[in-house]
Structure 1
């Protein structure tokens, strides 16, 4: 039966490949979006931009707030989380 099912589902192989690729891309995007090291580097870049006067205090605070929101996102959003983020 394995040979028959393999032959019958062969036309769907490209679809399975696209779905697999989509999952890999999603996982990589989530990793880049929620990785604590990436977020820390982005916060450091914001601090440098603020110190050099390229962005204002309000814009820097807004961007840092967004990054910290990603860092302390609720459980189930992927990756590791930190408990007590609502403190």
Structure 2
């Protein structure tokens, strides 16, 4: 029965491959998005830009809030 099922589902192999690839890409993207080291580097960049006058304090605060939200979401996903 296993060989028969394998032959019947063989045409679906490309679809399974695409689904697997999408899952791997999603995992990698989320790992980068929620990486605490990357978020810390972005926080430092925001602080540097604010100190140099490239962005306003309000914009810096808004971007920092987004990063903190992302950091908290990443921590919640790891649990």
* Count of equivalent residues: 78
Length-normalised TM-score, structure 2: 0.90
Tell me the equivalent position of 1:79.
78
1:46 is matched with 46
1:43–1:64 Cα contact (<8 Å) kept: yes
Shift of 1:79: 2.8
Report SS of the residue matched to 1:22.
helix
Q: Which runs of 4+ in 1 moved over 6 A?
A: none
Q: 1:6-25, aligned counterparts within 5 Å?
A: 6-25=6-25
Give the secondary-structure state (helix, strand or coil) at the position aligned to 1:18.
helix
Partner of 1:83: none
User: What are the Cα deviations for residues 26-60 of structure 1, in whole angstroms up to 9, with x where unaligned?
Assistant: 11111111111110011011011111111110000
- Structure 1 stretches lacking a partner, 5+ long: 81-87
Instruction: State the structure with bigger RCO (CA 8 A, min sep 6), 1 or 2.
Output: 2
Unaligned regions of 5+ residues in structure 2, if any?
none
